[in-house]
C-alpha cells in the first residue's frame, strides 16, 4: 500500500480532477477588489450617515433649546405652584413679608406683628422651615401649611406651624410649640377686615417691591 | 472560522508587509495544495475551487494576524480544513447532499463524487478509492502522503493527538488495501 501512496501528489494531480489556475487567481483578486470597494462604500455610507445624523442631532438640540427659551420667555411654565419647592418657598416668604400691604388702610398692628414674628424670626432662614401642604385649608380659606424649627437661647419655642393664604401671603393662623410638642402660643389674624382683605385680594399701598421688603426685614432685625 | 496560530514555523521568508505580493506568492506556492485539500474534503470540483478562492481572500484579510510563529503552509492548510469542515457541518450542505442522495436513489444511480478524471487508470482508481474513505481517514492520508506533513504537524493542524493520527493512518491504509483487494476479487470473478 505504501508503494501505491508514494508520490500521491503526482498521482492525484495527474487525474486533473481539480486545478487552481490563473483564472482562479484572477477571481481571488476580483473578490478582494470587490470586498475593498464594498468596505470603502460602507465606510463612505457610514461617514455620510454619521454627518447627516450629527447635523440632525445639532438641529434637534437647537430646536429644543430655542423652544425651551421661547417657553421660558413666554412664561408658560411660570406657574410657581408647579415650580421647585425652593423657589416657591422664596416667593411665599416674599408674599408674607409684603402681606400687610393688603390692609386697605385699616389698623394692621396685629397682622404686622404676626408678620414680623413669622418673617423675621421664624422664616428668615429658608432652611429652617418647609412646605408641608400646598393645598391645605384653614377657616374656609385656601392655605399653604408650613412647618419649621426654631432655636434661640431662653426662648421656649422650638417649632412652629403656619397656615398662609397663598395669593396674598397673609398668615391666617400660626401655632408655636415647645420642645415637648405642646402648643404654647398661637397668632390669629382672623378678623373680619383681614378676611375681607383676603377676599378682595387688592393691595392698597405700593410697598411691594424688593427694596420695601429689604427695608422691612432690616427694620425687623 | 478559526485561524490557526500554534503550528511550528518553517523557514519561509516572505515579506508579509506587502500584502499583494504575499498573496501572489501564497497563491502560486499553495494554490494546488489548497484546492486539492478542499476537494479531498468536499469531493466536488466547483465547491473546492470556491473554497480555495475564499481561503486566499481570508489569508489576505487575516494576514496581519499571522505572527510568523507558525508555518505559513500549515496556517493556510488549517484555514482550508476549517472552512471545509464548516461547510460539511452546515445544514444547507447536509440538506443538499441528502436531497441528492434521494435523487440518485430514484435514478438508480450510484452516488459518485463530482469529478472527471483524466489521468492514468491506476491513478484514477487511487483517487476514487481515496475519496471513498471516510473523511477522518482521508484527511490524514492526504496530509501525510500528498502534503508530506509529519505526524506531529498533522496532529497540530487537526488538533488531534499524535497517536490518533497514527491510528487513523494505519486504518486508512487498511481500508484502502481492502478496497483494492475487493476490486481485484471482483475483477477475477468477472
Top-tier CATH class for B1-113: mainly alpha
The shortest CB-CB distance from A24 to any of B52, B127, B142 is to B52
Give yes or no for a contact between B34 and B76, defined as CB atoms under 8 angstroms apart.
Answer: yes
For residue A82 the three cell numbers come to 408647579
What is the pLDDT at residue B53? 93
**What is the average pLDDT across B82-104?**
71
What are the chain A neighbours of B60 within 8 Å (beta carbons)?
28, 32
Q: Mind telling me how many Å the CA of A19 is from chain B's nearest CA?
A: 6
User: Can you give the residue ranges of every domain in chain A?
Assistant: 1-78, 81-220
What is the pLDDT at residue A110? 61
Q: Do A31 and B35 touch (CB under 8 A)?
A: no
Please give the DSSP secondary-structure letter assigned to residue B70. Answer: S
For residue A197 the three cell numbers come to 382683605
What is the pLDDT at residue B105? 56
What is the pLDDT at residue A219? 39
DSSP B113-144: -B----S-HHHHHHHHHHHHS-HHHHHHHIII
**Residue A206 confidence class, pLDDT cut points 50, 70, 90:** very low
**What is the average pLDDT across A191-203?**
69
CATH 3.40.50.720 fits B117-190, yes or no: no
More confident residue, B11 or B61: B61
Query: What ipTM was predicted for this assembly?
Result: 0.76
Alpha-carbon distance of A114 to A59, in angstroms, equals 54
Q: What is the pTM of this model?
A: 0.51
Alpha-carbon distance of A210 to A218, in angstroms, equals 12
Alpha-carbon distance of B144 to B141, in angstroms, equals 5
Of all helices (H) and strands (E), which one includes residue B65?
none
Q: Are strands A141-149 and A129-138 parallel, antiparallel or unpaired?
A: antiparallel
Every domain of chain B with CATH number 1.10.10.10 lies at: 117-190
Q: Do B49 and A24 touch (CB under 8 A)?
A: yes
> By CA distance, what is B122's nearest residue in A?
A11
The shortest CB-CB distance from B57 to any of A4, A11, A31 is to A31
**Residue A88 confidence class, pLDDT cut points 50, 70, 90:** confident
More confident residue, B12 or B120: B120
> By CA distance, what is A2's nearest residue in B?
B173
Given a cut of 90, whether residue B103 has pLDDT beyond it is no
Given a cut of 80, whether residue A121 has pLDDT beyond it is no
According to DSSP, the residues that pair with A171 across neighbouring strands are A164
Q: Do A14 and B119 touch (CB under 8 A)?
A: yes
More confident residue, A21 or A217: A21
> By CA distance, what is A31's nearest residue in B?
B57
- A:B CB pairs within 8 Å: 93
Give yes or no for a contact between B143 and B149, defined as CB atoms under 8 angstroms apart.
Answer: yes
User: Mean pLDDT in chain B?
Assistant: 80
- B 15-74 near A (Cβ less than 8 A): 23-24, 27, 31-32, 34-36, 38-39, 45, 48-49, 52-53, 56-57, 60-61
Q: Where do the H-state alpha helices sit in chain B?
A: 19-42, 45-62, 72-89, 91-106, 121-132, 135-141, 151-158, 162-189
Give pLDDT tens digits for B120-153.
788 888 888 889 889 889 999 999 999 999 999 9
Amino acid at each position: 500500500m505504501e508503494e501505491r501512496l508514494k508520490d500521491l501528489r503526482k498521482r492525484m494531480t495527474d487525474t486533473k480532477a481539480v486545478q487552481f489556475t490563473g483564472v482562479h487567481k484572477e477571481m481571488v483578486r476580483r473578490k478582494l477588489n470587490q470586498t475593498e470597494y464594498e468596505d470603502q462604500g460602507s465606510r463612505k455610507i457610514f461617514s455620510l450617515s454619521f454627518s447627516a445624523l450629527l447635523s440632525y442631532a445639532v438641529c434637534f438640540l437647537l430646536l429644543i433649546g430655542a423652544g425651551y427659551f421661547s417657553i421660558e420667555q413666554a412664561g408658560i411654565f411660570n406657574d410657581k405652584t408647579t415650580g421647585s419647592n425652593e423657589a416657591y418657598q422664596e416667593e411665599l416668604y416674599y408674599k408674607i413679608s409684603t402681606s400687610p400691604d393688603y390692609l386697605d388702610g385699616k389698623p394692621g398692628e396685629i397682622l404686622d406683628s404676626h408678620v414680623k414674628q413669622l418673617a423675621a424670626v421664624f422664616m428668615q432662614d429658608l432652611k429652617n422651615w418647609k412646605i408641608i401642604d400646598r393645598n391645605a385649608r384653614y377657616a374656609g380659606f385656601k392655605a399653604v401649611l408650613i412647618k419649621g424649627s426654631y432655636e434661640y437661647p431662653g426662648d421656649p419655642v422650638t417649632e412652629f406651624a403656619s397656615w398662609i393664604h397663598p395669593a396674598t401671603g397673609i398668615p391666617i393662623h400660626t401655632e408655636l410649640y415647645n420642645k415637648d410638642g405642646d402648643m404654647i402660643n398661637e397668632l390669629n389674624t382672623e378678623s373680619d377686615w383681614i378676611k375681607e382683605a383676603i377676599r378682595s385680594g387688592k393691595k392698597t399701598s405700593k410697598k411691594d417691591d424688593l427694596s420695601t421688603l429689604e427695608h422691612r426685614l432690616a427694620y425687623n432685625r | 472560522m478559526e485561524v490557526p496560530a500554534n503550528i511550528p514555523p518553517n523557514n519561509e521568508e516572505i515579506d508579509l508587509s506587502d500584502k499583494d505580493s504575499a498573496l501572489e506568492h501564497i497563491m502560486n506556492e499553495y494554490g494546488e495544495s489548497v484546492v486539492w485539500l478542499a476537494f479531498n474534503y468536499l469531493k466536488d470540483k466547483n465547491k473546492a475551487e470556491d473554497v480555495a478562492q475564499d481561503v486566499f481572500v481570508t489569508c489576505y484579510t487575516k494576514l496581519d494576524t499571522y505572527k510568523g510563529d507558525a508555518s505559513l503552509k500549515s496556517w493556510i492548510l488549517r484555514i482550508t480544513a476549517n472552512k471545509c469542515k464548516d461547510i460539511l457541518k452546515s445544514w444547507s450542505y447536509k440538506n443538499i447532499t441528502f436531497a441528492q442522495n434521494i435523487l440518485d436513489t430514484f435514478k438508480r444511480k450510484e452516488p459518485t463524487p463530482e469529478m472527471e478524471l483524466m489521468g492514468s487508470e491506476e491513478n484514477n482508481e487511487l483517487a476514487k478509492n481515496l475519496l471513498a474513505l471516510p473523511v477522518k481517514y482521508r484527511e490524514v492520508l492526504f496530509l501525510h502522503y500528498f502534503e508530506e506533513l509529519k505526524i506531529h504537524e498533522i496532529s497540530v493542524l487537526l488538533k488531534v493527538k499524535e497517536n490518533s493520527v497514527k491510528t487513523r493512518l494505519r486504518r486508512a491504509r487498511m481500508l484502502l488495501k481492502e478496497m483494492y483487494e475487493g476490486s481485484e476479487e471482483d475483477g477475477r470473478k468477472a
